[in-house]
Structure 1
Amino acid sequence: MLFDKIITLSLNPVADITLYVDGFIMGSENNVTSELYDSAGKAVDVSRVLQSYELANTALIVAGQENSKRYFERLNDEHVRTRVILAPGRMRENISIVTPDGTFTRLIRKSPKIRQRTIDELETALSEEIRPATLVVVAGAMPEGVTDDIFCEICMFIKDCGGTVALDTRSATLENVAKIQPWVIKPNFEELCMLVGRPLESLEQIKAAVKQLADLGVRHVLASMGAEGMVYGDGKVTYKADVPELSEIKSTIGAGDAALAGFIIAHDYKYDPKRSLQFAAAFGTASCLVEGTNPPRRISVAMVNNQVSVYEI
């Protein structure tokens, strides 16, 4: 099934502020030499990568109204189409401090609480935006106010409207996954262990966990393993993608989001699962070569893609 419309749903967007310092001493003043401001959050990151490959999409964003002006100005600069539901409170701003030797310290702020009125507005927007053959990417940790039941309700509402769900959130549970039966789910290694409720200490155990998710009705399971690559399964076949070692890593934030976007782009290109996994792994790896949460460069994706090896396990 090809999708004729893509929506990314962000209930917990974040402004990622990266501060580069010439040295960092706790309890002292530290000079900032340069900084980056990225309009981010997992779903928004997917939108930004899709847009960079000219794959049209709409970022449906629930945002705190007090400090979101700059956030949407940046998305506008990147030509990301948005539909915004403003809610009381402040949007999250996460602050990363990077020293010259690459040491990375991140301060993660708490998200604002989502109220029922906002969820009602969201469902109205979804009903207006979704049509048959619409893919809705539900990504990112759920904010306060969105319980497991409400999260599941939103995903089922998307399906009731005729949409198809893609999931990339640590807020998902096995019970929810079985109900939602998403088209694709993209956990990282830690999230995969949490989902199946056990440690995974070998490739065979990872393969079994991926198959367990597929057996719940997930069409495509895409598990990202950082420097160890990715594992894909659809219940019938399992593939492993090995990625090249990078000589210099600028940032790993957003690598999983880029990988999911790469998988969606590959589907739009009508690639088979094996080639789609290769493309997703290339996107995730290439995103580590850019600072902040910026989309990977096309030339980097092409270069890495030639070095990704995929084989059946």
Structure 2
Amino acid sequence: MILTVTPNPSLDRTYELPRLTRGSVLRATDDRVDPGGKGINVSRAVAAAGHRTIAVAPLGGPEGALLARLLGEHGIEAAGVPIAGSTRINVTLVEPDGTLTKVNAVGPEITEAEAEALLDAVQSRSAATDWIACCGSLPRGLPPQWYAELVARSHRAGALIALDTSGAALTAALPEHPDVIKPNAQELAGAVGRPLATVGDAVKAAEELRGRGARSVLASLGADGQLLVDGTGAYFGSARVDVVRSNVGAGDASLAGFLAAGGSGQGALAVAVAHGAAAVQLPGSVMPTPADLDLSAVTTTAEIPLDRPLMEPTS
């Protein structure tokens, strides 16, 4: 069973537009609303793959109630922690060529008592989990050290921890030795404080984060593929993608696939790449099912193309 923690969840509304014109009244060709937030997306992908998952998240207002109902419709057990504020609503605008414009709300401020209740909700369920995935930005009211405390408590309970966050929250948690961290290329560059221009640069950055405490690093490199660096070495995976429809939640789908496949090794990397490739070919933040996966389109190797320039080099 995979438990996810999403400190700043959302309702994600996606509009598909024939074109995006500033200052105009726009008519959508399609729209949908999904339960959102990085950890909740992981739970959605885990549930879509047929595995049990519990989503721990602060829920408030009618938006929080709708989010809990949508989670149930996706086959996810919602372990909601009541808060005084209202759950945020994010908006994504999708153009025909796949260009996304996202508007992410700030979200509610979490009180000290609500923050402690979140930690307690995770700790009370830790013993029955295979993995705990802690994902996303921290809302107002939670200090950068909050994830570090969650990782420490979960490890004391004997749980394995995957952490997908960035900035100060990531660097503060590294000394607590999260079992997997899952940055994208920009987050990886930010964590080491230098730009990444090649796959080799990404490998060096991942190795540096392992030296600072992470036990393994699963890095999404966008269209270039994914990188896994752990105690056994480094592995690179990529997949053929015919049409990119939306990359919202693709990294979360990758993490779900990786954890569901055991959370270590080249085989789990292949499943992660397959999940990410399937997700970008689906609308909005729809998570892939087993029928959407194409492992035959995935290649993984320990022969890393170190000199290959990244298609989207980081700043």
TM-score (norm 2): 0.90
Q: Which residue of 2 aligns with 1:84?
A: 80
The alpha-carbon distance between structure 1 residues 38 and 173, as it changes in their structure 2 partners (threshold 3 A), is closer
Structure 1 vs Structure 2 CA RMSD: 1.9
Partner SS state of residue 275, structure 1:
helix
The alpha-carbon distance between structure 1 residues 134 and 307, as it changes in their structure 2 partners (threshold 3 A), is closer
Are 1:274 and 2:257 an aligned pair? no
Partner SS state of residue 46, structure 1:
helix
Q: Which residue of 2 aligns with 1:112?
A: 108
Counterparts of residues 166-245 of structure 1 (less than 5 Å) = 166-171=162-167, 175-244=171-240
Q: Which residue of 2 aligns with 1:293?
A: 285
Residue 249 of structure 1: CA displacement?
A: 1.3
Residue 155 of structure 1: CA displacement?
A: 2.4
Number of residue pairs aligned between Structure 1 and Structure 2: 303
CA contact (8 A) 2:3 2:129 kept: no
Letter in 1 for 2:158: G
Counterparts of residues 45-124 of structure 1 (less than 5 Å) = 45-124=41-120
Are 1:252 and 2:247 an aligned pair? yes
Residue 20 of structure 1: CA displacement?
A: 2.3
Q: Which residue of 1 aligns with 2:138?
A: 142
Gaps of 5+ in 2: 305-315
Are 1:261 and 2:253 an aligned pair? no
Residue 163 of structure 1: CA displacement?
A: 2.3
Letter in 1 for 2:237: A
Letter in 2 for 1:155: V
Residue 102 of structure 1: CA displacement?
A: 3.8
Q: Which residue of 2 aligns with 1:310?
A: 300
CA contact (8 A) 2:6 2:55 kept: yes
Percent identity between matched residues is 29
**Once superposed, which parts of structure 1, at least 4 consecutive aligned residues long, lie more than 4 Å away?**
171-175
Partner SS state of residue 119, structure 2:
helix
Deviation readout 1:269-313 (Å, 9 max, x if unpaired): xxx611111111111111011111111132331x2x212111113
Partner SS state of residue 289, structure 1:
coil
The alpha-carbon distance between structure 1 residues 172 and 134, as it changes in their structure 2 partners (threshold 3 A), is farther
Of residues 101-110 and 289-298 in structure 1, the stretch that sits farther from structure 2 once superposed is 101-110
The alpha-carbon distance between structure 1 residues 112 and 189, as it changes in their structure 2 partners (threshold 3 A), is same
Residue 133 of structure 1: CA displacement?
A: 5.8
- Name the CA distance, whole Å, in 2 between partners of 1:174 and 1:38: 26
CA contact (8 A) 2:147 2:173 kept: no
Of residues 120-129 and 173-182 in structure 1, the stretch that sits farther from structure 2 once superposed is 173-182
- Name the CA distance, whole Å, in 1 between partners of 2:301 and 2:29: 44
- Name the CA distance, whole Å, in 2 between partners of 1:49 and 1:174: 23
Counterparts of residues 19-38 of structure 1 (less than 5 Å) = 19-38=15-34
- Name the CA distance, whole Å, in 2 between partners of 1:78 and 1:133: 19
Letter in 2 for 1:306: S
Residue 96 of structure 1: CA displacement?
A: 1.4
Letter in 1 for 2:153: F
CA contact (8 A) 1:113 1:144 kept: yes
Residue 100 of structure 1: CA displacement?
A: 3.8
